[in-house]
A and B are shown apart, each in its own frame.
Chain A
Amino acid sequence: MLQEADIGVGISGVEGMQAVMSSDIAIAQFRYLERLLLVHGHWCYSRISSMICYFFYKNITFGVTIFLYEAYTSFSAQPAYNDWFLSLFNVFFSSLPVIAVGVFDQDVSARFCYKFPLLYQEGVQNILFSWKRIIGWMFNGVISALAIFFLCKESLKHQLFDPNGKTAGWEVLGGTMYTCMVWVVNLQLALSISYFTWVQHIVIWGSIALWYIFLMIYGAMSPSFSTDAYMVFLEALAPAPSYWLTTLFVMIFSLIPYFIYKSVKMRFFPVYHQMIQWIRYEGHSNDAEFVEMVRQRSIRPTTVGYTARRAASVRREDRFYDQIHTDLVAF
């Protein structure tokens, strides 16, 4: 039975270790099952779904900028960026933040996961990893890429970006676009999570800083190794105010659509865990009666597995919300 189940949980104890050996997860006492399911189960689902959606987003942003550039090179497969930039995007500049989200993110704290067990149903009913959400993130990636590419291209239209009259070559356009992209994907992650510890701060801002440091170090290596990126930052990009202005503009512009979407969603159409965040913010979590009311209201003849997902999609999210939402916003 343990092996047939999607996830088998074995309890080690006086009856021996056989259950532990054939299970996916072993715990020591039956009472730990509550934490395992309600806290870690919910966190695991929420982390993995945001991590995967974000992963698609950042790689689509990266790939679509390169693709758009191809249209301007008569599709000759000349990449927009230096070779090492291409290889290291997914290694240095955007990997640690997404790992931090996948491992450490908490949309609601453990205390609230206990208080509001219905959060576990977010996973059962597949609310956070629905096709709508996946396609939405991919679409966000395409929009970001379009914004990055066309804004950088327009600002370097006649390549006169330097106060000393020199013209911008391929490496300047590539460096500008890549800088914008590193900023946009990292800030996008910062916008989409709502839990910041020193870990998240270090990986997000550190990845951005690492990009500049890498540019300087790589640019300082001999031209036989760094070819066209030789001194590109210190000599061409950094002294040009138009580079910094373009980066700032593209960064903010690419994030405005998502910001609007999230503000509207958070305020008017919150998902269940976002409702819990509102409850925490407004201090109602200390009101035992209110919490008890929410728990009572959230009792459902829910099922598990496939039938629960079918019931959820048939029921439509609005009906699920209407009742909970009405109660929660009533305060």
Chain B
Amino acid sequence: MSSNTASSSAGSGDSSAARKNSKRPKYSKFTQQELPACKPILTPGWVISTFLIVSVIFIPLGVISLFASQDVVEIVDRYDNDCIPAPARTNKVAFIQGDSPKACNRTLTVTKRMKQPIYVYYQLDNFYQNHRRYVKSRSDSQLRSPKFENQISACKPEDDVGGQPIVPCGLIAWSLFNDTYTLSRNNTPLAVNKKGIAWKSDKEHKFGNKVFPKNFQKGNLTGGATLNPDIPLSEQEDLIVWMRTAALPTFRKLYGKIETDLENGDTIQVTLQNNYNTYSFSGKKKLVLSTTSWLGGKNDFLGIAYLTVGGICFFLALAFTIMYLVKPRRLGDPSYLSWNRNPGGGR
């Protein structure tokens, strides 16, 4: 700490002059570190009541979260292996890259009533959309406005074709997912609404409505879907959804919404085009139909976690109560003092 500067040194002159010439710094609570302060310490009361309050808050939260998650109905169907016809299963990569018809029929059974809107997702496993080179391979300015069409430097190797810039450039757009799903229920087609699946801020501010796809997938390698060059990017919702890179290697992305209820026992026929090549990196593809609750999709984790921690805190409150009761601080009795047994400062 800094020095304590002089208080009034009785200099020369009479006392009243000395008091006027005092060098004492002006007193303030802040500079003298005497601010009014709250000095809490962890007494047994605080500890036990904290644990009790935490458990009283957490256990109900856990219960309602668990109920919310249990209310969600989810159907998951892995189709990447089954949608390769049996003779081709020894060389799946060759099949997927070849020209044979890729249509595949799947059947899903609804086990519990699903209220609309029912969301259709595709789930990819072992696909690292969060790899740094992949994430960097895009040009945001190009996506926003046709003026910046030529800002493609970050997009290598998918930046241009024959000297002409690709719009949208980059690996993320190039690898756009291109499996399609047509659903029908009891032989009547089920409409899947593909509008409104992207975040609003993306559609309105990041993907321009004057930007049209150009030279897309015209290079040597086709990485995924093609885009209709007559539709501006702000309306290409599949692309927008795909370009919001996922955080983890196993992820789901929204494909569309079903706006009718599905009853218990309904059979959903899915005719899908198995176009996307996940076989070269042992990825998995799954189709997911799910309702949502106020908490989101089916994820028991929060509910179970809250309940567990609430229970643990309750148990800790009990344990601390017992501990404090078993080992209380002994009440004063001077004969206990080692000072009295061992007069004077000792070791």
* A164 sits at the interface (CB 8 A): yes
Which residues of chain B come closer than 8 Å to A78, judged between CB atoms?
130-132, 135
Which residues of chain A come closer than 8 Å to B50, judged between CB atoms?
259
Beta-carbon contact of A44 and B248 below 8 Å: no
* A245 sits at the interface (CB 8 A): yes
* A305 sits at the interface (CB 8 A): no
Beta-carbon contact of A198 and B324 below 8 Å: no
- From A195, A235, A266, B201 is in contact (CB under 8 Å) with A235
Given contacts A240-B296, A278-B41, contact A32 B332 (CB under 8 A): no
Q: How far is the CB of B198 from chain A (nearest CB, A)?
A: 8
Beta-carbon contact of B247 and A174 below 8 Å: yes
Beta-carbon contact of A106 and B33 below 8 Å: yes
**Closest residue to B148 on the A side, CB-wise?**
A224
A–B Cβ pairs within 8 angstroms, 18 of them: A32-B4, A76-B128, A78-B132, A157-B248, A159-B251, A160-B297, A160-B298, A165-B117, A169-B247, A194-B39, A197-B36, A241-B295, A246-B302, A297-B337, A299-B345, A300-B347, A326-B337, A330-B337
Stretch at the interface among B91-99, B160-168, B305-313: B305-313
> Scoring B residues 63 to 95 as 1 if CB is less than 8 Å from chain A, else 0, what string do you get?
001000000000000000000000000000000
Which residues of chain A come closer than 8 Å to B285, judged between CB atoms?
none
> Scoring A residues 253 to 292 as 1 if CB is less than 8 Å from chain B, else 0, what string do you get?
1001001101100111000001001101100000000000
Interface residues of B (CB under 8 A from A): 1-7, 9, 33-44, 47, 50, 54, 58, 61, 65, 117, 119, 121, 123, 128, 130-133, 135, 140-141, 144, 197-201, 205-206, 241, 244-254, 257, 290, 292-299, 301-302, 305-306, 309, 312-313, 316, 320, 324, 327, 329-334, 336-339, 344-345, 347
Beta-carbon contact of A165 and B292 below 8 Å: yes
Beta-carbon contact of A169 and B332 below 8 Å: no
Beta-carbon contact of B249 and A72 below 8 Å: yes
A172 to B132: give the CA distance in the assembly, Å. 17
| Contact residues, A171-227 vs B (CB, 8 A) | 171-174, 194-199, 222-224, 227
Which residues of chain B come closer than 8 Å to A157, judged between CB atoms?
248, 299, 301
A248 to B201: give the CA distance in the assembly, Å. 27
Which residues of chain A come closer than 8 Å to B35, judged between CB atoms?
197-199
A174 to B339: give the CA distance in the assembly, Å. 59
Q: How far is the CB of A81 from chain B (nearest CB, A)?
A: 11
Q: A76-B131, A166-B254 are in contact. List 12 more A-B contacts (CB 8 A).
A: A25-B2, A43-B1, A73-B132, A159-B248, A163-B295, A166-B199, A170-B135, A170-B244, A230-B205, A241-B295, A329-B329, A331-B332
* A104 sits at the interface (CB 8 A): yes
- From A110, A160, A331, B252 is in contact (CB under 8 Å) with A160
Which residues of chain B come closer than 8 Å to A298, judged between CB atoms?
345
* A132 sits at the interface (CB 8 A): no
A236 to B202: give the CA distance in the assembly, Å. 11
Beta-carbon contact of A296 and B345 below 8 Å: yes
Which residues of chain A come closer than 8 Å to B257, judged between CB atoms?
165
A229 to B294: give the CA distance in the assembly, Å. 24
* A17 sits at the interface (CB 8 A): no
Beta-carbon contact of B306 and A249 below 8 Å: yes
Beta-carbon contact of A263 and B135 below 8 Å: no
A interface, over-half SS: helix
- From A74, A323, A330, B332 is in contact (CB under 8 Å) with A330
* A88 sits at the interface (CB 8 A): no
**Closest residue to B306 on the A side, CB-wise?**
A249
A157 to B198: give the CA distance in the assembly, Å. 20
**Closest residue to B120 on the A side, CB-wise?**
A165
Beta-carbon contact of A173 and B248 below 8 Å: yes
Which residues of chain A come closer than 8 Å to B44, judged between CB atoms?
267
Given contacts A161-B296, A252-B54, A263-B320, contact A110 B128 (CB under 8 A): no
Given contacts A26-B3, A73-B128, A163-B294, contact A297 B339 (CB under 8 A): yes
Beta-carbon contact of B252 and A158 below 8 Å: yes
Which residues of chain A come closer than 8 Å to B39, judged between CB atoms?
109, 194-196, 277, 280
Beta-carbon contact of A267 and B1 below 8 Å: no
Beta-carbon contact of B296 and A263 below 8 Å: no
A110 to B34: give the CA distance in the assembly, Å. 9
A54 to B258: give the CA distance in the assembly, Å. 52
* A36 sits at the interface (CB 8 A): yes
* A154 sits at the interface (CB 8 A): yes
Which residues of chain B come closer than 8 Å to A245, judged between CB atoms?
61, 65, 295, 302, 306
